Amino acid sequence: MTMKDTKHDGPPRTPPRQSATFTQDVNAEIRRAAATGIYDIRGGGAKRKVPHFDDLLFLGASISRYPLEGYRERCGTDVTLGTRHAKNPIKLDIPVTIAGMSFGALSGAAKEALGRGASAAGTSTTTGDGGMTQEERGHSSKLVYQYLPSRYGMNPDDLRKADAIEVVVGQGAKPGGGGMLLGQKISDRVAQMRNLPQGIDQRSACRHPDWTGPDDLEIKILELREITGWKVPIYIKVGGARPYFDTTLAIKAGADVVVLDGMQGGTAATQDVFIEHVGQPILACIRESVRALQDMNMHREVQLIVSGGIRSGADVAKCMALGADAVAIGTAALIALGDNDPRWEEEYQKLGTTAGAYDDWHEGRDPAGITTQDPELAARFDPIEGGRRLNNFLKVMTLEAQTIARACGKNHLHNLEPEDLCAITMEAAAMAKVPLAGTDWWPGKPGTGF
Amino acid sequence: MQTIDLGTTALRELNASLHAQAADTNQTAWEIVNPRGSHAVAVGLDAPIEVYVKGSTGYYTAGMNKQATVHVHGSAGPGVAENMISGTVIVDGDASQYAGATGHGGTLVIKGNASSRCGISMKGIDIVVHGNVGHMSAFMAQSGNLVVCGDAGEALGDSIYEARLFVRGSVKSLGADCIEKEMRPEHLEILRDLLERGGCDARPEEFRRYGSARQLYNFNIDNAY
- C-alpha closest to that of A308 among A266, A367, A256, A343: A266
The strand pairing partners of B133, in sequence order, are B114, B152
Element (H, E) at A300: none
Q: How far is A244 from chain B (nearest CA, A)?
A: 28
Q: What is the pLDDT of residue B225?
A: 46
Domains of chain B plus CATH, in order, are: 2-215 (2.160.20.60)
Determine, for residues B78 and A150 on separate chains, whether the beta-carbon distance falls below 8 Å.
no
Distance from CA of A200 to the nearest CA of B (A): 5
Q: Would you list the DSSP string of A101-151?
A: --BTTB-HHHHHHHHHHHHHHT--EE-BTTB--HHHHHH-SSEEEEE-TT-
Domain boundaries of chain A, sorted by first residue: 61-337+382-416
Q: Angle between the A282-295 and A243-253 helix axes, to the nearest 10 degrees?
A: 40
B203 conformational bin, left if phi > 0, alpha if psi -120 to 50, beta if neither: beta
Are B195 and B187 in contact, with CB atoms under 8 Å apart? no
Q: Give the distance from residue A196's alpha carbon to the nearest chain B alpha carbon, in angstroms.
A: 7
Q: Cα–Cα distance between B84 and A101 in angstroms, integer?
A: 25
Q: Which chain A positions have a beta carbon within 8 Å of B40's beta carbon?
A: 219, 222-223, 226
User: For the purposes of burial, counting CB atoms within 10 Å of the CB of B197, is it exposed (0-12), middle (13-18) or buried (19 or more)?
Assistant: middle
How far apart (Å, rounded) are the C-alpha atoms in residues A149 and B6?
31
In contact, B137 and B117? CB cutoff 8 Å: yes
Composition of chain A by helix, strand, coil, percent to 5: 35, 15, 50
What pLDDT is attached to residue A1? 46
Rounded Cα–Cα distance for residues B47 and A197 (Å): 31
Ramachandran area for residue A279 (φ above 0: left; ψ -120 to 50: alpha; else beta):
left
The H-or-E segment that residue A324 falls in is none
Q: In sequence order, what DSSP letters do the residues of B80-113 get, joined into one string?
A: TTTT--SSEEEESS-B-TTTTTT--SSEEEESS-
Nearest to B40 among A37, A196, A223 (CB): A223
Residue of B11, B59, B80, B85 best to disrupt the A interface, most CBs of A under 10 A: B59
- Chain B residues with CB inside 8 Å of A220's CB? 59-60
Decide if B60 contacts B95 (C-beta within 8 A). no
Question: Largest Cα–Cα distance of chain B, in whole Å?
Answer: 59
Q: Which of A291, A260, A336, A256 has its CA nearest to residue A88?
A: A256
Per DSSP, A201 falls in state: P
Check whether domain A61-337+382-416 has CATH 3.10.129.10, yes or no: no
Q: Does the model's ipTM exceed the 0.85 cut?
A: yes
B136: closest chain A residue by CA: A209
**Distance between CA atoms of A362 and A343, rounded to whole angstroms?**
21
- Return per-residue pLDDT of chain A as tens, 450 residues: 445 555 667 888 999 999 999 999 999 999 999 988 888 889 999 999 999 999 999 999 989 889 998 777 999 999 999 999 999 999 999 999 999 998 888 999 999 999 999 999 999 999 998 889 888 899 999 999 999 999 999 999 999 999 999 999 999 999 998 877 777 667 787 778 878 887 777 778 899 999 999 999 999 999 999 999 999 999 999 999 999 999 999 999 999 999 999 999 999 888 999 999 999 999 999 999 999 999 999 999 999 999 999 999 999 999 999 999 999 999 999 999 999 999 999 999 999 999 999 999 988 899 999 999 999 999 999 999 999 999 999 999 999 999 999 999 999 999 999 999 999 999 999 999 999 999 999 999 988 765
A207 has a chain B CB within 8 A of its CB: no
Contact call for residues A286 and A322 (beta carbons, < 8 A)? yes
Q: What is the CA radius of gyration of chain A?
A: 23
pLDDT along chain B (225 residues), means of 10: 96 97 88 98 97 98 98 98 98 98 98 98 98 97 97 97 97 97 97 97 97 84 51
Tell me the C-alpha distance between A292 and A303, whole Å.
12
Find the closest chain A residue to B97 by CA distance.
A210
C-alpha to C-alpha distance for A55 and A440, rounded to whole angstroms: 16
pLDDT at A205: 85
B-chain residues near A36 (CB < 8 A): 221
Q: B136: distance to nearest CA of chain A, Å?
A: 11
Among the listed residues A390, A264, A392, the one whose alpha carbon sits nearest the alpha carbon of residue A334: A390
Distance of alpha carbon B149 from alpha carbon B170, whole angstroms: 10
CA distance A178 to A205: 5
Tell me which chain A residues have a C-beta less than 8 angstroms from the C-beta of B83: 151, 154-156
